[in-house]
Amino acid sequence: MGELILQAKHLGISFGGLKAVDDFNIEIKAGELVGLIGPNGAGKTTVFNLLTGVYAPTEGAFFLCGEKMNGKKTHQVVQSGIARTFQNIRLFKSMTVLENVMVAYGMSIKYKIPGAIFRMGSYFKEEAEYREKALDLLKIFDLDDKADYIADNLPYGQQRKLEIARALATGMKLLLLDEPAAGMNPTETADLLRCINIIRERFGIAILLIEHDMSLVMKICERIVVIDYGVTIAQGLPEEIASNQRVIAAYLGADEEEEDVPC
C-alpha cells in the first residue's frame, strides 16, 4: 500500500448548464477499496463515465499514477489502467465465456495481422498462452468449467462475475465496479464478496465501488465517498459515514423533501 493510483482534482461536468458532477475530489491508493454511494441520480455513474473517458470533464482533471487522463478516449484510458463494469451488464452476448475474456486480453496479445492470417508461430503461442491465462482468471470466479458456454446463457449472477473477470483481463491498476451486487440474492452477494476479496489479494489493485447494498459497502469498503446532486457531501471511514447527519438527511430526505431510500 501507499502508491497513489487515482487522483481526481475538482472534477466536474455540466450538461447544458446542469452540473451533474461538481468539484469531485478523490485519492485512491494501491490496494484500497473505496465505496462511492449516494441516492439514485446523485451522479455516481457519471463519475464512472468521467473516469473512463466516456464523458470529457468540463472542469478539473484526474490522474492515474500521476499521468493525466483528461481528453483520453475510453480505450486509451483502459489501456492506461482503468477498467470498469456496467450497471446494466454489458457482455459480448453471442460470444463464449472464454472469448469474452480473450477480447479484453486483445491489447496484451502482440501478434499482428500477418501473424494472424498466415498463422505464424506467434499466433499459436500467444493464443495458447492467453487461453491459459483466461482460464486461470475464470477459475477465480468458478467460471472455468463454463468457458465454452455462450455468455448470454449464463445465469445473472455469473454474468456479473464474468463482467468483472473481463475487466480484470485488461490488466488494470484501478477497477471501477458499478453496482456489482444489484439484483443478486444473498448467496450470490456472499459469493461476489468472496471473489472481490480474492482479486484484491491476488492482484493488489485499487477498487472504486458503487453499491446500493449498504451492508456490503459497510463490510468491505475501507473508505466511503458520498455524493448527492453531484456534490461530495461526506468522505470518511464507514462508521463515520453511517453516523453522518448530512448523509442520513440525503438518504432519508431532510424535512418534506423526498428521496429514494436504498433498500
Residues that bind other proteins (CB under 8 A): 45, 49, 52, 54, 73-75, 78-79, 83-84, 86, 90-95, 99-100, 102-107, 109, 111, 113, 116-119, 123-125, 127-128, 131-132, 145, 166-167, 169-170
- Supply the minimum distance, in Å, between the C-beta of residue 98 and other proteins: 10
- Supply the minimum distance, in Å, between the C-beta of residue 116 and other proteins: 3
All cell numbers assigned to 262: 436504498
Contacts for 75 with CB less than 8 Å, ≥ 6 apart: none
Separation CA 220–CA 133 (nearest Å): 27
The torsion angles phi and psi of 176, rounded to 5 degrees, stand at -105, 120
- Supply the minimum distance, in Å, between the C-beta of residue 136 and other proteins: 12
Residue 181 in contact with residue 213, Cβ under 8 Å?
yes
- Supply the minimum distance, in Å, between the C-beta of residue 229 and other proteins: 19
- Supply the minimum distance, in Å, between the C-beta of residue 227 and other proteins: 18
- Supply the minimum distance, in Å, between the C-beta of residue 182 and other proteins: 16
All cell numbers assigned to 116: 494472424
Separation CA 60–CA 70 (nearest Å): 9
Residue with Cβ nearer other proteins (169 or 209): 169
Residue with Cβ nearer other proteins (24 or 48): 48
Residue with Cβ nearer other proteins (177 or 241): 177
Residue 81 in contact with residue 52, Cβ under 8 Å?
no
All cell numbers assigned to 234: 461526506
Residue with Cβ nearer other proteins (16 or 66): 16
Q: What is the spatial order of strands in the sheet that 4-15 belongs to?
A: 67-68, 59-64, 4-15, 18-29, 231-236, 223-228, 33-37, 206-210, 174-178, 82-84
